[in-house]
Structure 1
Amino acid sequence: MSRLVWFRSDLRVTDNPALHYACDDQADVQAVFILCDQYVESHPIGPRKLWFIRESLKDLAVNLQKSGIELSLLRVAKAGDIPAKLMAFCKEMGIKSLYCNAEYPIDEIERDRKVKASCEGADIAFRRYHDRCLIPPGMLKTGQGSVYRVFTPFSKAWKEKIKSARLEAYLAPETGRGKKAKDATRAIDQCFARCDLRPAPDHWQPGENIAQRKLQEFCDNALLEYDEQRDTPAGPGTSRLSPYLSIGSLSPKQCYLAAAARVKGDWEKHSGVNTWINELIWREFYMHIAQAFPALSRHKPMQAYTDDFPWRYDKTLFQRWCNGETGIPIVDAAMRQLNNTGWMHNRLRMVTAMFLCKNLKIDWRWGERYFMEQLIDADFCANNGGWQWSASTGTDAAPYFRIMNPVSQSERHDPDGQFIRRYVSELAELNNKDVHTGRGAAAYCDPIVDLNRSRQEAIDLFKSLKSNEATANES
């Protein structure tokens, strides 16, 4: 009896529940990955992440090959083509059971529903597991039985639940357990042949073994000081594991277990470890939210009244922000880091997002999509949650009157301008005070907006919206 493991955002052989259960006996196991053109365009999946996925698939294929599991590649034009394509493949290969791990945005949920229905019609068992979250969506509820909308009580409930969980990473399948599998490298290259790829080997090294090594290095060298170092963009204080988590070369369970092991399990008493695990909880929080509120996957704000905010749709200003040519040094440095490396420091994601939404008053959805196009670690749930937090439109959002001042942020977290100078060469010769404003640099552009005036304008607009909402609710 043949079984098929359908890989999606779980490109690894260790701690992969779908693969583990498919290989729990001596049944013949095969593997497949489907590239959907519509998903590449609409989600979107940017050129760097596509390259990262392609190279990670090659690594996955080699690891599967050691266990006699062959990875096949399928390509479809539209998401609606996936069920029929899968069923044809299953029929050709004599598949009787399909195994996969869950994804939570609405497009993926609807896709899986259709595939499950097709499997039932073809007498194929459909098995789905959870690996994106340590605690799957739906398992944490408030005392009233509803989904948590605020992070702090969610995190408290998560931590309480995790204490009773017996977590253990699944081992990779045994080597040599099946027939000799073919090398999938050529098939992978052919599948991605028409894709716009942007290789970034100078900044990122794909692969499951690389991911596990980087996790261990972070736990050994930076985890204990994470709470003190994480907000410094010029330093190595963050883990940079997000690209591996986004495509599943690394699981959140592996991250949690490694971090807990670093302090012999007593992680809540170690501020650095506790702070980093809180970041893992934030990822899970946004996945729970995405599944519970599918409108978020349809470009809607969590707080409906904010859709009446008079967003600007100025393409010229937006392009200045995209290019890192705003005249605000820390914003420009962060955007150039993104454009050059496919990654941005987390604090600077908040700073640049707030600047776009609050100071320029440009629709947060424009920025959300640009980040998805550029980030090698792009993940819909985390990206959408972060943008809505910054725009004060989401669940547990920043209060509309709390607007980060980018100059103050750079003075606090990049005091000597090391990060700014790294990416904004026009400011390299300025002193440690002027580097935060760009004052005195002849080759640098003037600010495209007055920070103080635009901040107050945004506060007044949001205040008016809140007042109108309160009046409407009373009537």
Structure 2
Amino acid sequence: MQNSLIWFRQDLRIHDHPALVAACDYAKQHNSRVYAVYFVTPKQWKLHDVAAIQIDFIERHIQALSTQLAAIGIPLQVVNLADFDDILPWLNHYCAKQDIEAIFAAVEPEFNERQRDKKLIEAKLPLTLIEQDCLFPYGSVLNQSGQMYKVFTPFSKEWKKQAASKAITPLKAATFDKPISEPSIDAFVYDHVYQNKVSSEHWPVGEDAARKRLKDFAEFLMADYGAKRDFPALDATSKLSPYLAIGVLSARQCVTAILFYFPDALINDASPAKTWLNEIIWREFYRHLLVAFEHLSKAQNFNPLGQAIAWRNNQHEFEQWCQGQTGYPIVDAAMRQLNQTGWMHNRLRMVVASFLTKHLLIDWRWGEQYFRQQLIDGDLAANNGGWQWSAGTGCDAQPYFRVFNPMTQSSKFDADAHFIKQYVPEVANWPIKHIHQPHLHWQSNNDASTGLFSQNESILYPKPIVEHSAARLRAIEVLSALKKS
């Protein structure tokens, strides 16, 4: 019997899933069965700094996916292995046992994943890879010279041009056979590599929840996204990134939702949906870059001039940044939000990344790794792209001489300090002006020499670890290594 196997990866859904549809079509043509598999590879995850909270989120979605697949007659098996090297022998044995003649899976853009698939194909495994991660295949959005764009705006224009020229319709949910009893799914085994599991319970699970969140955002919030997205105290962002990161939603589903409510979004630069559409295109841009420039998966600067930067890399200051103890309330509130929830508001990601790489002159790779270890929406392409953008070393990056002023960012985007007070209660009784400009508080404090101030001696908050103006000048001098000759 010529059975097929669908290998789930970062695509934990049954809607708009070309690889799953292909596996079902193959089985229908051969009057055979479809099996499904998901590999748990904790050593590989640890090597890639996957956050424990994201693993928990994935595990909960695997449970939900198992139920969905059982409803269309497909049993899902969770297989606990160590790393990618263990996959080939397992698949060889399984294919022989279950008469698997065809394996279907989605292409992944990361270098290690692409090397894994190359080895499997070279080993004559019947693996068919299908591109479904982005709206358009890698290497299909190119400039007039046939090269990958290195600037976002022209990439965006070409991407929109291609998108406007064709129908964008997500595939319906895959169908196959009559329901089967829901299989007993093995639990993820990773506590021998990850000492502590982290709950993702505050994030709803399942395609229905993700699709409803997308619909509600598109219908009620998207039009105001451009005006409100930078204010962390407002519930004005989509919060869809965790679902996109593990493939519970597809980019095509997101674009379809945009066009349903804003049909001219691809051709009208004044469309209320423009800003959020650009977020989707930035995601695509970074993923296309990851494939075009393999060194991005290897923790290397996109701009080779970045190799000349003399990073300070002060370990103690890095730990203060990680713990939300820099003495700048907006930076500390953002880092505590990350540590407590596994998520951070987008504007604040830029603020803290700029602070680490420019105020503290700590290598962007330190921050990228820490983010990846904490984020529920961890994604190599977006994380790498965002950090290199902030550091000035990336593709179409922020200029090296642009240094975010955390005090200006604080007063502009959290004017009443509502967000800051939520995560940094130590400063809740400070005057608003002092919260935004913490050095003023120390200037008015007779005990500033202690390094800590409190109106309540049981609550301590640190002095700013750097002075903004001096740090800015230092950053411009050191990062001038990025200046073109």
TM-score class, shorter: over 0.9
- Match runs of 1:359-378 below 5 Å: 359-378=359-378
Where does residue 246 of structure 1 map in the other structure? Answer: 245
Q: Secondary structure at the match of 1:222?
A: helix
Where does residue 473 of structure 1 map in the other structure? Answer: none
Q: Secondary structure at the match of 1:272?
A: coil
Where does residue 74 of structure 2 map in the other structure? Answer: 69
Matched, 1:29 2:34: yes
Deviations 1:62-111 (A, max 9, x none): 10010010111112223222222222222221110010111101111101
Q: 1:459 aligns with which of 476, 479, 482?
A: 476
Deviation at 1:192, TM superposition (A): 4.8
Cα contact 1:4–1:95 (8 A) shared by 2: yes
Cα distance in structure 2, aligned partners of 1:455 and 1:375:
28
Cα contact 2:265–2:273 (8 A) shared by 1: no
Deviations 1:170-201 (A, max 9, x none): 111237x156244233x1x1545655420031
Matched, 1:155 2:156: yes
Q: Secondary structure at the match of 1:225?
A: helix
Cα distance in structure 1, aligned partners of 2:401 and 2:426:
33
Cα contact 2:393–2:482 (8 A) shared by 1: no
Where does residue 223 of structure 1 map in the other structure? Answer: 222
Cα distance in structure 1, aligned partners of 2:464 and 2:199:
33
- Match runs of 1:329-368 below 5 Å: 329-368=329-368
With the length of structure 1 as denominator, give the TM-score of the two structures: 0.93
Q: Secondary structure at the match of 1:331?
A: helix
Q: Secondary structure at the match of 2:78?
A: strand
> Which has the larger displacement, 126-135 or 411-420?
126-135
Q: Secondary structure at the match of 1:276?
A: helix
With the length of structure 2 as denominator, give the TM-score of the two structures: 0.92
Cα 1:28/1:178, change in 2 over 3 Å: farther
Where does residue 446 of structure 2 map in the other structure? Answer: none
Where does residue 104 of structure 1 map in the other structure? Answer: 109
Q: How many residues align?
A: 460
Deviation at 1:459, TM superposition (A): 0.6
Cα 1:466/1:335, change in 2 over 3 Å: closer
Amino acid at match of 2:389: W
- Match runs of 1:268-279 below 5 Å: 268-269=267-268, 270-279=270-279
Cα distance in structure 2, aligned partners of 1:393 and 1:448:
24
Q: Secondary structure at the match of 1:23?
A: helix
Matched, 1:59 2:64: yes
Where does residue 448 of structure 2 map in the other structure? Answer: none
| Ranges in structure 1 where 5+ consecutive residues have no aligned partner | 471-475
Cα contact 1:229–1:235 (8 A) shared by 2: yes
Where does residue 132 of structure 2 map in the other structure? Answer: 131
Where does residue 209 of structure 2 map in the other structure? Answer: 210
| Ranges in structure 2 where 5+ consecutive residues have no aligned partner | 442-452, 455-459
> Which has the larger displacement, 107-116 or 86-95?
86-95
Cα distance in structure 1, aligned partners of 2:85 and 2:94:
15
Q: Secondary structure at the match of 2:402?
A: coil
Cα 1:466/1:243, change in 2 over 3 Å: closer
Cα distance in structure 2, aligned partners of 1:57 and 1:311:
41
Matched, 1:169 2:186: no
Cα contact 1:324–1:336 (8 A) shared by 2: yes
Cα distance in structure 1, aligned partners of 2:302 and 2:266:
32
Deviations 1:39-67 (A, max 9, x none): 21111111100100000100111100100
